[in-house]
Structure 1
Amino acid sequence: MTPPELVWDVRCELGEGPVWVASDRAVWFVDIKGRRLHRYGVDDASRTSWDAPDQIGFALPAEDGSLICGVRGGLHRFTAEDGTFSLFQPVEAERPGNRLNDGFVSPDGALWFGSMDDAEAARTGAVYRWFRGELQRMDDGWGVTNGPALCPEGKTLYHHDTLEKTVWAFDHADGRISNRRLFCTTEDGYPDGPSVDAEGTLHIGLYGGWGVDRYAPDGTRLEKIKLPVPNVTKAAFAGDDLKDLYCTSAWMGLDAEGRARSPSAGGLFRLRVDTPGLPQNLIRL
């Protein structure tokens, strides 16, 4: 494992959701509170940003080359050629205090994502699955949702309730989840975005924890990957061999002194790891 390198001092207020888009040779990620979508080209370190219509929780690749974005109020299709966001699926019109947070694409091409109370107070969040035009609410009553992520065999789905410091596991089969159970409680910081490597090790970004925790499939904490910023929001595997780990971070919640101590907070970091991640799936439309 190599030391983390700051590849883009983008200074996101609340960076989130790095995702490797192999066809584009780029890592895409969002700044939720800054309402921005960012693209980092891995070959030439190119950097491009777009304004989003509202708070944007994730941007994930679809089979037609577009990105499907979770913007407050619904799912939008984004096309980089003209930089436009187009709403195609309203979400939670009956919960105006909520916004969308982290997301994931399962091997069948379904989009999974969560919602949360924007004030981080009420337990009005839910877990959703969108597949080829059909939106299903899979679970309800969450505080701050993060995830989900799926084990390599596809039988276990992980999802976090960040404020409770809890990581939950579900049995997963044929696009359905059941048997919700506690997987672990984080020791350092709050569990933010998850990802899974090819050996089934769960990687959890730690908000207030200065790194990424690694957990074995049985819930054993293995180690922490340390980063030079306090709020690490998610890690994603990228590159031709899927051994480049890109980590988003945030300065939200830091006072002036904290930001002075961590001037790169909100940046995009990269390091090399020994075990590759899983290939990024594409959303089926």
Structure 2
Amino acid sequence: MSALFEPRCVWPLQAELGEGPVWSAAENALWFVDIKQQRLHRFDPAGGEGRSWAAPAPPGFLAPCEAGGFIVGLKTGLCRFDPATGAFSEPSPVEPGLPGNRLNDGAVDPAGRLWFGSMDDGEEQATGALYRLDAGGLSLAEPGYVITNGPAVSPDGRRLYHTDTLEQVIYAFDLSPGGELSGKRVFARIEPRGGYPDGPTVDAAGKVWTGLFGGWGVRCYSPHGELLRSVCFPCANITKIAFGGEDLLTAYATTAWKGLDGAGRAEQPLAGGLFTFRVDTPGQPQHRVRHEFTHPR
């Protein structure tokens, strides 16, 4: 078992862009994606074994559904994935008029709403946006991002965090019971050489954890935005963490070798691996999507 706040690699699979870890309590397993290599991955901690599925397009995230299986956010749109058969449904486009975009990070809030972002695949144009999927269908929550990451929601469901990665800012919003956002403000800003905030996660005490792409670690902030802890890694690109295990006290971190040249990869042989470390505050249980996809309104 990993030591407290000391990462160790449990699956050196060399993901080019590992992302979006989610814990499946029913399976006692961790799921995540490799965006650039177009793979879905499942890791079984008990046996230390991994399994992978090829996706029909680059997958930005996957989210478990109350009806079973997962919703997967592909470059081509939202689809269903059935782990029992390995089948993907025909994707439903989210941004058919923006072929240069792809879907990126996503999360499910306590009300069962799916929140996810899109981004410019070339990482240059502010064509990305934040979306919400609920009983009313798919809605645009906020436009104007180059690279979206998150979102993540507080345990009481009243605050949502969303990251503008290139601007190195994590924003906080007030989240209404009906799913409306208001009160956008800066929650945390990463210093210029501190790396780029990637996927955020909120634990059961409301603390916000964020991976740092190019920052060699993970940071933990209080609900008030105060930096509480930094966890150092042996590779530069940490993308996101999820809390798992029976006690939800094991953090699983996805990483990436994207952007490293041959020398960089030789210096960071574990880049792209799946890591774990123990924490002193449990995570939130993984919420499930309650609503099926319908076209945007």
Question: Same fold by TM-score, threshold 0.5 exceeded?
Answer: yes
Aligned to 1:259: 265
Q: How does 1:240-255 map to 2 (within 5 A)?
A: 240-255=246-261
Aligned partner (choices 71, 96, 101) of residue 99 of structure 2: 96
Q: Is 2:288 the partner of 1:279?
A: no
Q: Distance in 1 between matches of 2:182 and 2:109?
A: 16
Aligned to 1:189: 195
Question: Gaps (5+ residues) in structure 2?
Answer: 292-297
Aligned residues: 285
Question: Gaps (5+ residues) in structure 1?
Answer: none
Q: Distance in 2 between matches of 1:152 and 1:282?
A: 14
3-state SS, counterpart of residue 26 of structure 2: helix
Aligned to 2:149: 146
Aligned partner (choices 33, 42, 47) of residue 44 of structure 1: 47
Aligned to 1:179: 183
Q: Distance in 1 between matches of 2:158 and 2:146?
A: 25
Stretches of 4+ aligned residues off by more than 2 angstroms: none
Q: Is 2:228 the partner of 1:222?
A: yes
Aligned sequence identity (%): 52
Per the TM alignment, residue 42 of structure 1 is displaced from its structure 2 partner at its CA by 2.0
1:155 is aligned with what amino acid? R
Q: Distance in 1 between matches of 2:94 and 2:271?
A: 31
Per the TM alignment, residue 219 of structure 1 is displaced from its structure 2 partner at its CA by 1.1
Q: Distance in 1 between matches of 2:158 and 2:5?
A: 31
2:256 is aligned with what amino acid? A
Q: Distance in 1 between matches of 2:171 and 2:105?
A: 15
Aligned to 1:14: 17
Aligned to 1:61: 64
1:128 is aligned with what amino acid? Y
2:115 is aligned with what amino acid? W
1:184 is aligned with what amino acid? A
Q: Distance in 1 between matches of 2:5 and 2:160?
A: 29
Q: Distance in 2 between matches of 1:200 and 1:226?
A: 21
RMSD: 1.0
Q: 1:97-145: CA deviations, max 9, x gaps?
A: 1000000001111110000000000000000011246000010011100
Q: 1:219-253: CA deviations, max 9, x gaps?
A: 11112111111000001100111000000000001
